[in-house]
Amino acid sequence: MVQLTAGADPVANRETAGRLVRRAAALGAQLVVLPERWNGVHDRAGTLAAAEDRDGPSLRAAAGWARELGLWLVAGSVGERLPDGRPPANTSVAFDPAGEVVAVYRKVHMFDVEVGGRAYRESDEASPGDALTWALLAGVPVGMSVCYDLRFPEVYRALTLAGARVLAVPSAFTAATGPDHWEVLLRARAIENQAFVLAADQVGRHATGARSHGRSMIIDPWGVVLAQAGDGEGVALADLDLRAQDDVRTRLPALRHRRPDVYGRAPSSTAGISPPAGPAATPAAPVPPEG
């Protein structure tokens, strides 16, 4: 997992990302994941202006690193210019060791929230995707996602049921929600799907004033954090033991115990049981938006 602090200068961001990808390769990495928007974090106008075509300089650089180093690379996400004039997609692209594209995923869930006293409206600067994607990377099925998708367990269950054994989560997770939610959600996705989770996060303060949480990590199917980056740029590296994953899925076969025949039916009421006497229920307080 590569962790960095992307600024507004795409050239500098590419230099940083390339240096860290090479560091990961030198440590023995065969599969590298970059964070969300590793090539630049901007305000709305900057995000729209910085969008690139699929063969733009950022993804060309990523393809070059994969080819040069002979590794599999999930190039986090970049703003992808769309041909129909819509706002750019927040797009994650996976490359093989020849630098060829093997999968493209456009972030499905838009980060339209208020957290830490700051409003985020990703839908003003990005167009959502409409399909889930997995890729065969280094011979292993890897489900692709981006950041806010992490809050939607349906995404990862669908990817797992499609055969994914590894779940990639490139992110720029906010510092406001990160301390309470980042590790909890990542470990939950690993445990409930008995899958490895690869989470590469941005870290620190960006030129926009936004702050990312960092703590990029790799989690095994039992929910154990195998490796974690700190509070600055760097890499987190771990081996994925697929035999141990098979053992977890055999000994605790929760995925085989699913009851989709039940889940598709609306829950029934407690027919024939009178509600308890007492004062009328007080309406629940509104749930605050989250990041």
Tell me which of 122, 147, 183, 233 is the catalytic residue: 147
The torsion angles phi and psi of 107, rounded to 5 degrees, stand at: -50, 130
Is residue 107 part of the annotated active site? The answer reads: yes
Any catalytic annotation for residue 52?
no
114 is catalytic: no
Instruction: Pick the closest to residue 221 from 187, 255, 183, 256 (CA basis).
Output: 187
Rounded to the nearest angstrom, the gap between the alpha carbon of residue 114 and the centroid of all alpha carbons in its chain is 20
Q: Cα(253)–Cα(245) distance, rounded to whole angstroms?
A: 11
**Which of 52, 80, 107, 183 is flagged as catalytic?**
107
Burial class (CB in 10 A: 0-12, 13-18, 19+), 30: middle
Q: Which residues of 152-176 are buried (b: 16+ CB within 10 A; e: fewer)?
A: eeebbbebbeeebbbbbbbbbbbbb
Is residue 72 classed as helix, strand or coil in its secondary structure?
Answer: strand
Which residues have a catalytic role annotated? 36, 107, 147
